[in-house]
Amino acid sequence: MIRILTRLILLALIAWPVGTWAKAMHPKPAPPRILVNQVGYLPHLPKRALFTGDPSGPKEAKAILVDSETQTPMLKITPGRPYREKNRATPLRILDFSALKKEGRYHITWQGIRSLDFHIGHEIYTDALTLLLRSYTLQRCGVALEDPLTGLRHGPCHLQDALVAREDPFAPMGTRVDARGGWHDAGDFGKYVATTAITAGRLLAAWEKAPTPLKALSLSLPHHDRASPTCDLLTETRVGLLWMLRMQRSDGALYRKLSGSSWPSPISPDEDSQTRYLYGISSPETAKAAAAFAMAARVYKASDPVFSRQCLSAARKAWEFLVANPEMLIDHQPGDDSGSGPYLYSPVDREATLTTDLDDRFWAAAELFITTRETPFLKEVERILPMLPWGLYEWKDPSALGMANLLHHQKKATRLTARLKKKLILRADTLILHVKKCPWFTANPRLIWGSNKMIAEEGITLALAYEQTGNPVYLSAASAQLNFLLGINPFGISFVTGLGEHSVRHSNHLFARALGKSIPGLLVGGANASAEDGIAPKGKGLRSYVDDPRSYATNEYAIDYNASLIGLIVHLTATSPGRVP
């Protein structure tokens, strides 16, 4: 596995010439192509490729699926009826080869066009999960990076994190608080409780869903981590959790974020020498952290009981702060966002969920109830639940993970589980309508910042609906979301750097830009019709994307993006017949 992973990473580290960026921004009309999921297909899932363009030969001819090792034809495929994207002349045709379940390496040919090779197999996502999870190791803050697989390295960074930005009841302005560690949130070097909590929550949920296969993953972690009593996934997730523990005040509240007052230029993290600050507290971030801590308390209980107790204590302390402050509270002032993202209601993020913290409190109450089984937390869950729909799990609204975890941990049918299931199916049926309308079968109609993460999360919701109902329509739609992210999209690329033969090369990432190379394993944001950076094409729907290092609105990585894709892969793998999560 490591040999394969190393080959993928070495391919990802080859820097493209600058001239290719211009070609990406002004592409010529694409020739006919057969688009496939470049990682491959799980045997039990629907398997579809997409032919784009006009066939040059007889339209009644069948496509052929070929064993790439022996060149043996394995299956004849009748192409689907042509259909078109709105305002585009190029037709699309589905090539469905779900009937083939034999493991192997294959390709498809039709009309003289050959697809990329792809695999069918039960373990085909092992290397992909490893690559995606290793991104967190490469994003660590406060330590030196000396990665033997990629050759990436930098010195210890941000060792002085951080000074309190303004007067605080618990620390005068300028007081140094030890808030070292954690992960750099995205392509820049800021650290945020909102996205760290969301990331930790999704990774811990993946662990609870399928611990056995995740336990076997080897991330080639730094030597000093080898003494950890937990597996590599939990060891890496602990990095984010420990940082959030350092962000908690003695009254239970958490500071919102940590960053410099100016946006860094494309440099190595250890070259970012500006003073960094802790900004404000908030009830939404405190609630998100409480939820993540409560999850950690139960996940780490067997392998690391001391850390488990520490997390539960922090979760309870955060909850006490929320009880003492029942109204939404955000300490934010002009100037807080001069060198970092607001992660608040803003001209860019206008969702109604950002005007309340009920969704955050619900997630905290749900996880504390699951972990402790204490009645006050259940009462809070039941109080807030009628006010919330089943939404999309993200920093803007984390409540869906609380709902999903309540369903997962409640083995017997109750009135609560019935209400949760009803909300889930209502959401999933709405997503199916979007899938049917979209030529590329995506369930997410909101093409805004981070749309790829949203596509992955909607895929998880559809997979959950399949688990609750057994309806194959949900499973087919869920798998289509993964296919889109890994190759069956208007650009024919994998949106994860270094994953697949044709993948993103020019992510908006300061360290990568400083190196002039691509850092592997990063899911980029994807189509953004608003294209706030002025680089990607605006108003082009799913085509409002460009593989350009300047396009922060479409081509930046973030820690919560990867977590969602990891979650989708884990959920789809867990639907395999005969597999016990």
Length of the chain: 581
Residues with Cβ < 8 Å from 2, sequence gap 6 or more?
Answer: 149, 218, 220
Beta partners for residue 255, in sequence order: 281
Same domain, 141 and 212: yes
The pLDDT tens digits for 231-289 are 999 999 999 999 999 999 999 999 999 999 999 999 999 999 999 999 999 999 999 99
The pLDDT value given to residue 13: 44
Place of tokens 């993946």: 206
**Conformational region of residue 139, where left means phi above 0, alpha means psi within -120 to 50, and beta covers everything else:** alpha
Domain assignment present for 516: no
Provide the residue type at 413 as one letter.
A
How many whole angstroms separate alpha carbon 295 and alpha carbon 204?
Answer: 7
Q: Do 369 and 377 contact (CB within 8 A), yes or no?
A: yes
Same domain, 105 and 183: no
Same domain, 312 and 274: yes
Domain assignment present for 534: no
Same domain, 212 and 340: yes
Token pair, residue 198, equals 């969301």
Residue 327's Cβ-count burial label (10 Å; 0-12, 13-18, 19+) is exposed
* Alpha carbon 351 to its chain's center: 19
* CA contacts within 13 A on the Cβ side of 440: 26
How many whole angstroms separate alpha carbon 102 and alpha carbon 92?
Answer: 27
Domain assignment present for 143: yes
Sheet holding 191-192, edge to edge: 163-164, 276-281, 255-260, 191-192
* Alpha carbon 232 to its chain's center: 18
How many whole angstroms separate alpha carbon 96 and alpha carbon 126?
Answer: 24
SS3 317: helix
Q: What is the DSSP letter of 248?
A: B
Phi, psi of 60 (to 5 degrees): -85, -10
Q: Do 568 and 460 contact (CB within 8 A), yes or no?
A: yes
Same domain, 170 and 291: yes
Chunked mean pLDDT (size 10), the chain, 581 residues? 46 38 42 95 97 81 96 96 90 97 97 96 97 97 94 96 94 95 97 98 97 92 73 96 98 98 96 97 98 98 96 98 98 95 92 97 98 98 98 98 97 92 98 98 96 98 97 98 98 97 96 94 98 96 97 97 98 77 35
Domain assignment present for 145: yes
Same domain, 72 and 192: no
Q: Do 43 and 122 contact (CB within 8 A), yes or no?
A: yes
Number of domains, the chain = 2
**DSSP labels for 219-233?**
----GGGTT-SS-HH
Same domain, 133 and 114: no
The pLDDT value given to residue 18: 33
Same domain, 361 and 400: yes
Token pair, residue 149, equals 């697989």
Nearest to 407 by CA among 432, 428, 438: 428
SS3 86: coil
Domain assignment present for 517: no
How many whole angstroms separate alpha carbon 405 and alpha carbon 319?
Answer: 19
Q: Do 381 and 416 contact (CB within 8 A), yes or no?
A: yes
| Domain boundary residue, one of 90, 120, 150 | 120
The pLDDT value given to residue 31: 79
Domain assignment present for 4: no
How many whole angstroms separate alpha carbon 425 and alpha carbon 431?
Answer: 10
Phi, psi of 399 (to 5 degrees): -65, -30
How many whole angstroms separate alpha carbon 398 and alpha carbon 381?
Answer: 14
Q: What is the CATH number of the domain that holds 472?
A: 1.50.10.10
Q: What is the CATH number of the domain that holds 89?
A: 2.60.40.10
Nearest to 133 by CA among 1, 317, 270, 271: 1
Same domain, 300 and 336: yes
Give, for 23, the enclosing helix (H) or strand (E). helix 19-25
Provide the residue type at 176 as one letter.
R
Same domain, 279 and 319: yes
Q: What is the DSSP letter of 156?
A: -
Nearest to 220 by CA among 12, 2, 8: 2
Domain assignment present for 520: no
Same domain, 448 and 406: yes
Same domain, 284 and 334: yes
Token pair, residue 205, equals 């949920």
Show the domain range for 393: 126-492+555-574
Give, for 256, the enclosing helix (H) or strand (E). strand 255-260
Angle at 336 between CA 553 and CA 528, to 5 degrees: 10
Beta partners for residue 524, in sequence order: 557
Q: Say what the pTM is.
A: 0.94
Domain assignment present for 412: yes
Nearest to 34 by CA among 61, 59, 70, 64: 64
| Domain boundary residue, one of 69, 89, 120 | 120
Residues with Cβ < 8 Å from 508, sequence gap 6 or more?
Answer: 187, 524, 548, 549, 550, 551, 552, 555, 556, 557
